[in-house]
Amino acid sequence: MKKSLKITLIVLGVLLGIVALDTLQAKFFDNSPIIKLRETYYGGEIYYIDKGLLVNHYHCNNNEKVTTWKGTKFACPIYDDTDVVEEKQPINQFSLVFYQKTAIKPKQKELIIGKNEVKDIDYNVYAFEGNIAINLNSDSSELTENSISLRDALLQNKITMNDILEKANNDLNKNIIKGDIYRDGGKYYISVWQLHNY
């Protein structure tokens, strides 16, 4: 056998092995495939789909995660929190923690929660140049093991955007934080608060 053919077969074998391992870990552990393309959806029942070579991983808005074989049809269940009667505990105090997971390009925005994903939020909430976590019943401005992402806190009804906006507006009036309201070029106004470990 020629040397170039052996090398080609070895490379193909390694590539097939990597694809097989990636597919197996995604399917058996219900994870996203490592080799993937992510499609993010703004609104609706799907938060994002990670499309691998042989499997698709669905992350639904109700936090359900499902990995299916390519070609298998799957629809996320309708996220309806009207049947859930969960009494929200009053939030005595909380702090928002601004952090960066990776090196982020200037002005890069990250969707925290999409329009209509949560009851009473009919607008998109973004973080610019980082992410936001929340410490409930704490005034710590550090990321801790008890910190949860702002998205999860909103989806699980642990806090409302009204709670956050009320605190932000109060702190803005007291000059604890900086902020402003901008017109987006149309009929909408955009409120921006600058959180640096707020």
pLDDT at 82: 55
The pLDDT assigned to 85 comes to 46
DSSP letters, 124-165, are -EEEESSEEEEEET----S--TT-EEHHHHHHTTSS-HHHHH
| Per-residue pLDDT at 102 | 60
Cα distance between the two ends of the chain = 66
Q: How far apart are CA 149 and CA 134, in angstroms?
A: 6
| Residue corresponding to tokens 């801790």 | 144
Q: What pLDDT does 41 receive?
A: 80
Confidence (pLDDT) at 197: 46
- Give dist(CA 80, CA 16) in Å, integer: 41
Alpha-helical (H) ranges within the chain are 3-28, 150-155, 161-173
**Is-contact 158 148, C-beta < 8 A?**
yes
Strands (E), 52-117: 55-60, 65-69, 94-99, 109-113
- The neighbour count for residue 57, using CB atoms within 10 Å, is 21
Torsion region of 197: left, alpha or beta (phi above 0 gives left; psi -120 to 50 gives alpha): left
How many other C-beta atoms can be found within 10 angstroms of the C-beta atom of residue 31?
A: 15
**C-beta of residue 66 within 8 angstroms of C-beta of residue 74:** yes
CA angle 93, 181, 142 (to 5 degrees): 30
Per-residue pLDDT of the chain (198 residues; tens, 9 = 90+): 788 899 999 999 999 999 999 999 999 888 899 999 998 886 678 888 999 999 999 888 778 889 999 988 888 887 665 555 455 555 657 777 777 766 556 567 778 888 778 777 777 887 777 778 888 877 777 888 888 888 888 888 888 887 877 777 777 777 766 666 555 555 554 555 555 544
Whether 57 and 31 have beta carbons less than 8 Å apart is answered as: yes
| 73 half-sphere exposure, CB direction, 13 A CA radius | 0
Q: Nearest Cα to 126, choosing from 114, 110, 142, 140?
A: 110
